[in-house]
């Protein structure tokens, strides 16, 4: 797991732009062999975690540990706030997402109202359950889930080579 | 039959979300990519907490509580 060599915050009173610039300059991440080793270790852990039986203490502890590590990494990297983050997102620009969300919630509510395991109106979880029936697919999904949790924060902290 | 249609609806929704995200990134439509919305939320403490909670829920739900591996 890569760790920054120094903090992400700029001096008191510094502008957001200078804070972001400081963040980009100060973070150094492993590359080459150390990065490959870290990814390999993560892959091994991921394969093990996705092979655990659900509803067991081991599964809860394993997934909880991964969440704790990623959360600690995310929170330690700061926000990496940059110019344009406060750009106006109009309702018009987000309307399709809202429409998708409404349809998805309606389908989910219908499935849950029928017991959650209805064969007639399956919930999203039931559909995903069938898709994740094999270890390889579970592992790929786990990798994507980790990427969603880690990559954005790392990018915003300013990825740069040693 | 209803089950198949519902499953198709879920898959279509997921595919549509991916297509919208790609089109938004490419600038083909006037739409804020989810990545940009998440980035904006990430700059606020409550937004970060909400994103982390949502991400954690997905992980626990998928890998600790639901699917039985073969």
Cα A8 to Cα A19: distance, rounded to the nearest angstrom: 8
pLDDT in tens, chain B (70 residues): 667 788 888 899 999 999 988 988 888 888 888 878 887 788 888 888 898 999 999 999 888 876 554 4
- As given in the structure block, the two tokens for residue A66 are 């991964």
3-state secondary structure of A154: helix
Model-wide pTM > 0.90: no
In the 8-state DSSP scheme, what is residue A10? -
Residue contact B40–A64, C-beta within 8 A: no
Query: Which pLDDT score, from 0 to 100, does residue A20 have?
Result: 46
Query: Which pLDDT score, from 0 to 100, does residue A1 have?
Result: 44
Helix A124-131 and helix A91-113, axial crossing angle in degrees, nearest 10: 80
Of A71, A96, A134, the CB nearest to B70: A134
pLDDT in tens, chain A (162 residues): 444 444 444 444 444 444 444 444 455 666 677 778 888 988 999 999 998 888 889 999 999 999 999 888 888 876 655 555 555 455 557 788 888 999 998 988 888 887 766 667 788 888 888 788 888 988 999 999 999 888 877 776 665 444
Query: Which pLDDT score, from 0 to 100, does residue A53 have?
Result: 86
Nearest CA distance, A106 vs chain B (angstrom): 11
Residue contact A89–B37, C-beta within 8 A: yes
Query: Which pLDDT score, from 0 to 100, does residue A36 have?
Result: 84
Helix B45-63 and helix A135-157, axial crossing angle in degrees, nearest 10: 170
3-state secondary structure of A161: strand
Assign 3-class secondary structure to A53-116.
CCCCHHHHHHHHHHHHHHHHHHHHCCCCCCCCCCCCCCHHHHHHHHHHHHHHHHHHHHHHHCCC
């Amino acid at each position: 797991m890569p760790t920054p060599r120094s903090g992400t915050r700029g001096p008191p009173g510094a502008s957001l732009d200078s804070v972001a610039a400081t963040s980009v300059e100060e973070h150094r991440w492993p590359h080459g062999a150390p990065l490959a080793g870290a990814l390999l270790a993560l892959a091994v852990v991921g394969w093990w975690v996705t092979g655990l039986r659900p509803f067991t203490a081991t599964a809860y502890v394993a997934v909880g540990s991964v969440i704790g590590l990623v959360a600690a990494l995310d929170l330690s990297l700061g926000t990496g706030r940059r110019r344009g983050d406060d750009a106006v997102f109009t309702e018009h620009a987000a309307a399709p997402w809202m429409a998708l969300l409404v349809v998805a919630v309606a389908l989910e509510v219908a499935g849950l109202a029928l017991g959650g395991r209805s064969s007639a109106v399956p919930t999203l979880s039931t559909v995903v359950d069938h898709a994740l029936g094999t270890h390889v697919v579970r592992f790929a999904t786990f990798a994507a889930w980790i990427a969603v949790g880690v990559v954005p924060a790392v990018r915003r902290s300013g990825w740069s080579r040693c | 039959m209803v089950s198949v249609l519902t499953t198709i609806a879920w898959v279509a929704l997921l595919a549509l979300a991916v297509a919208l995200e790609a089109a938004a990134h490419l600038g083909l439509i006037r739409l804020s990519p989810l990545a940009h919305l998440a980035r904006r939320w990430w700059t606020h403490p409550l937004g970060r907490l909400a994103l982390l909670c949502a991400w954690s829920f997905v992980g626990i739900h998928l890998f600790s509580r639901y699917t039985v591996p073969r």
